[in-house]
Amino acid sequence: MNEFQERKVKLKWHEPKKTYDVIIIGGGGHGLATAYFLATRHNITNVAVIERKYIGGGNSGRNTTIIRADYGIPEAMKFYGRSVDLYYELEKETDRWLMFKPKGMLRLMHSEANLTSSIKRAHVNSEWGHQTDILSAPEVARMVPELDMSGGGKYPVIGGFLHHEGATARHDRVNWALAEGANRLGAHIHQRTEVQDLIMSEDGSKVKGVRTNKGDMYADQVLCAVGGHVTKVTSMAGLRMPIRTHPLQAFVTNHYERNFDPIVASLTLHFYVSQTARGEMLMGAHVDRQPAYNYRAGYDFLQHCAHHAMTMLPFMRKLRVLRQWTGLCDMSPDASPILGLTPVDGFHISTGWGTWGFKAIPASGESLAATIATGQQAELIQPFGLDRFAKDRTMGDLGSTGTH
């Protein structure tokens, strides 16, 4: 069966109500997962997800779908480890085919510095129950015979870092399954509905609802999960976020006839590649250096990323680029998410997802739902609160983004 020969998404559409218990701004993976877990774990179903375009139209439908938990510090390991565990169960949980595929993620090491940091990371991973092994150069060559182990004579591969749980899933399907699950239990999803302002208490200390192009809606709990547009929406609550929005590009080629099993990334050349279910080679790298809100995809990125990929995988020279696209990433200073309670009563955030948020969708949805339901920051996301910047407790895990 291919990905198009399958049932359609079943969503029910509703007229907006005047009042909800919870309003979620943003119909990306994080907003939808929070609605899903509110409904399935806390029986909170008087919920509206408000999306200015269509669900999954932001980064959650534009990413390269890599799921992994090979993080370098315990706080991140626990959080992403939980997310990967939830992903492994998500098809069963939602009763939907998400095209989830465990592949293993192989990072190529080109230097002693790569090796030292990888050994450290492998120890942290196994300490928290996730399997990451250091491979010798011959083991890497056996695993990916297509590799030029000399790296074009410039970037010789001295070993690899194999994270066994590395996987991919079809992004749209993840979004739709979560939307369906929440919607089936009563959550409303309003597409083409833009939040233009927040309704605040007179003294500005509490959120009361949202002002949209389809009218005002009231709720005592509002979650802002709007990806790269976060600073615009949080400023409506008088909150400044330590976030910069940077475009991130990706592209796919035509299909490669052989099975290319693992996800392969280079720690030095800053690119990664995997094969889609259709056989296309899907590639990405790091964000554009200049902050911006435009979706322009450019030749510069294509040239650099393709050059790096072809250096390591010469067969890619024969492939053709089919599509290139861009998303807007909410980059936090410590490359970690900012989650949960804020100084504004009833106003919650899910941001700082940058280039790494697809893999975190289930765990963040689960923890944010618990935070909204109980009024207490859920344990797993306590280290990721907005208050960490004032307390000087930022996360020291920049290397785990995979493209730094």
Ligand X SMILES: Cc1cc2nc3c(=O)[nH]c(=O)nc-3n(C[C@H](O)[C@H](O)[C@H](O)COP(=O)(O)OP(=O)(O)OC[C@H]3O[C@@H](n4cnc5c(N)ncnc54)[C@H](O)[C@@H]3O)c2cc1C
Closest by CA position to 342, among listed 217, 214, 204: 204
* 61, 175 contact by CB (below 8 A): yes
Question: Among residues 161 and 358, whose Cβ is nearest to ligand X?
Answer: 358
> Rule CB under 6 A: which of 140-199 touch ligand X?
194-195
Give the shortest CB-198-to-ligand X separation in angstroms. 10
* Closest to ligand X by CB, 116 or 213: 213
Residues 175 and 57 sit within 8 Å (Cβ to Cβ):
no
Query: Of 83 and 268, which CB lies nearer to ligand X in the complex structure?
Result: 83
In DSSP terms, which residues pair with 67 in a beta bridge? 167
| Member of 53, 192, 318, 404 binding ligand X (CB under 6 A) | 53
Residue 51 engages ligand X in binding (rule: CB under 6 A): yes
> 28 near 197, Cβ under 8 Å?
no
Q: Does 400 bind ligand X (CB under 6 A)?
A: no
Q: Point out which span in 6-14, 97-105, 112-120, 351-359 binds ligand X (CB under 6 A).
A: 351-359
Residue 332 corresponds to which amino acid?
S
The answer to the question of residue 355 lying near ligand X (CB under 6 A) is yes
Return the range that interacts with ligand X (CB under 6 A); candidates 11-19, 24-32, 83-91, 379-387. 24-32
336 binds ligand X (CB under 6 A): no
Minimum Å distance from CB 402 to ligand X?
A: 8
Residue 36 as a binder of ligand X (CB under 6 A): the answer is no
Take residue 308 and report the two structure tokens written for it: 């790096």
In the complex, what is the shortest distance from the CB of residue 304 to ligand X, in angstroms, rounded to a whole number?
15
Residue 47 within binding range of ligand X, rule CB under 6 A:
no
Considering only residues 293 through 332, tell me which ones interact with ligand X, judged by CB under 6 A: 327, 329
Closest separation in Å from C-beta 311 to ligand X: 21
Look up residue 151 and give its two tokens: 């790296």
Q: Is 52 in the site for ligand X (CB under 6 A)?
A: yes
| Region near ligand X per CB under 6 A, out of 63-71, 178-186, 290-298, 312-320 | 63-71
**Rounded-to-integer distance, Cα 196 and Cα 232, Å:** 10
Residue among 248, 264, 265, 331 that touches ligand X (CB under 6 A): 248
Cβ 230 vs Cβ 216: under 8 Å = no
Least gap, CB of 32 to ligand X (angstroms): 7
In the complex, what is the shortest distance from the CB of residue 37 to ligand X, in angstroms, rounded to a whole number?
14
For tokens 């066994």, what's the residue? 164
Show contacts with ligand X in window 214-243 (CB under 6 A): 225-227, 229, 233
CB burial string 107-128: b at 16+ within 10 A, e below = bbbbeeebbebbeebbebbeeb
Q: Which residues bind ligand X (CB under 6 A)?
A: 25-31, 50-53, 57-60, 62-66, 194-195, 225-227, 229, 233, 248, 250, 284, 327, 329, 350, 353, 355-359
